[in-house]
């Protein structure tokens, strides 16, 4: 047994040594990318536009596609007024069954190279309703859109109106600078992501398939750049998600025999 243990330890030592030497010899394969000068933008105005979007109660419903129809229409108008260059230069389409939940939006920004595959950036404008039982625990009302302590507060400020507004803010700024992308950029914003996405994302996928559009890559809503949430990491860290969660319905039943307890005498 001792001899076998020594052999295993020597093998592990050799493996670690090989890995260490190869790591030292190969070095980093990180691609060197020259820094790009950031475009100037009005951060306060961008925060106000996001806050305005948060104030619109675009709550999606699994059973009633028209439950928040007026709010989604209001959201569409808010995007139009907030990003005039986007709506002048990009093609915007409503996705879904007309009159029955066609509130998802598909934007197309034509690129310079028609042979290049397009890229698809995704987001969603719908949010989850505020549970009445938890309202007293909110520091700010769910749809207040308050700007306080350097943050925008409310439903959608993180999940996921911030993503949609950031995409449109970037494109609006690039359009103002005269930029034209090499490959076509497509944006899709769903209106029922929180309930299943069948009226929005599924319809958009079917539409693009019908048109023969195969994106080079699809970037979903993604995660966040967090600071102070990972032990031992003080700098801002970008959390990268490479898959999407699914869901499962489970029913648990427990059957136990009847238990009898004898009362002890004092």
List, in sequence order, the alpha helices (H) in 213-262.
Answer: none
When pLDDT is averaged across residues 224-244 and rounded to a whole number, the result is 84
Count other C-beta atoms under 10 Å from residue 153's C-beta. 19
Total of domains in the chain: 1
- Of 193, 222, 181, whose CA–CA distance to 105 is shortest? 193
The H or E element containing residue 226 is strand 225-226
Render pLDDT for 46-67 as a digit per residue (tens, 0 to 9). 999 999 999 999 999 999 999 9
Do you find a cis peptide bond into 46, omega within 30 degrees of 0? no
Residue-number span of the structural domain to which 51 is assigned: 43-238
Give the model's pLDDT for residue 113: 97
Percent of the chain with pLDDT over 90: 62
Within-domain flag for 30? no
Selecting among 126, 169, 194, 221, the annotated active-site residue is: 126
Q: Which two tokens stand for residue 146?
A: 């308050």
More confident residue, 220 or 49: 49
More confident residue, 64 or 257: 64
Within-domain flag for 157? yes
Give the model's pLDDT for residue 54: 98
Q: Across the strands, what pairs with 106?
A: 93, 188
Selecting among 71, 102, 172, 193, the annotated active-site residue is: 193
Within-domain flag for 230? yes
Within-domain flag for 257? no
What's the rounded Cα separation, in Å, for the pair 83 and 90? 11
Within-domain flag for 26? no
Residue 40 has pLDDT above 60, yes or no: yes
Percent of the chain with pLDDT over 70: 95
Within-domain flag for 250? no
Residue 196 is among the residues annotated as catalytic for this protein? no
DSSP state of 189: E
pTM of the model: 0.79
Within-domain flag for 146? yes
Residue 102 is among the residues annotated as catalytic for this protein? no
Residue 171 sits in a domain whose CATH number is: 3.40.630.10
- Of 102, 125, 131, 113, whose CA–CA distance to 55 is shortest? 125
Lowest mean pLDDT across 74-88, 97-111, 143-157: 97-111
pLDDT band at residue 155 under the 50/70/90 scheme: very high
Q: Kindly give the pairing relationship between strand 104-109 and strand 217-219.
A: unpaired
Within-domain flag for 63? yes
What's the rounded Cα separation, in Å, for the pair 248 and 23? 41
């Amino acid at each position: 047994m001792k001899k076998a243990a020594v052999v295993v330890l020597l093998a592990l030592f050799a493996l670690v040594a090989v890995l260490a030497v190869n790591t030292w010899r190969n070095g980093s394969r990180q691609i060197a990318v020259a820094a790009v000068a950031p475009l100037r933008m009005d951060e306060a105005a961008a925060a106000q536009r996001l806050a305005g979007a948060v104030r619109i109660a675009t709550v999606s419903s699994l059973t009633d596609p028209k439950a928040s129809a007026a709010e989604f229409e209001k959201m569409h108008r808010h995007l139009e007024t907030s990003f005039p260059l986007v709506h002048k230069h990009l093609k915007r389409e409503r996705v879904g069954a007309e009159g029955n939940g066609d509130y998802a939006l598909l934007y197309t920004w034509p690129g310079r190279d028609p042979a290049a595959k397009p890229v698809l950036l995704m987001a969603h404008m719908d949010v989850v309703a505020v549970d009445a039982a938890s309202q007293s625990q909110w520091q700010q009302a769910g749809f207040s859109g308050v700007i306080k302590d350097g943050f925008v507060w409310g439903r959608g400020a993180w999940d996921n109106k911030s993503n949609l507004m950031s995409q449109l803010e970037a494109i609006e700024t690039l359009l103002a600078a005269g930029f034209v992308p090499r490959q076509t950029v497509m944006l899709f914003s769903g209106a029922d992501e929180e309930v299943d996405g069948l009226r929005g994302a599924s319809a958009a996928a079917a539409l693009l398939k019908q048109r023969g559009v195969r994106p080079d890559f699809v970037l979903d809503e993604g995660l966040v750049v967090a600071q102070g949430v990972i032990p031992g990491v003080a700098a801002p860290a970008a959390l990268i998600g490479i898959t999407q969660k699914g869901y499962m319905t489970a029913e648990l039943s427990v059957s136990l025999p009847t238990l009898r307890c004898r009362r002890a005498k004092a």
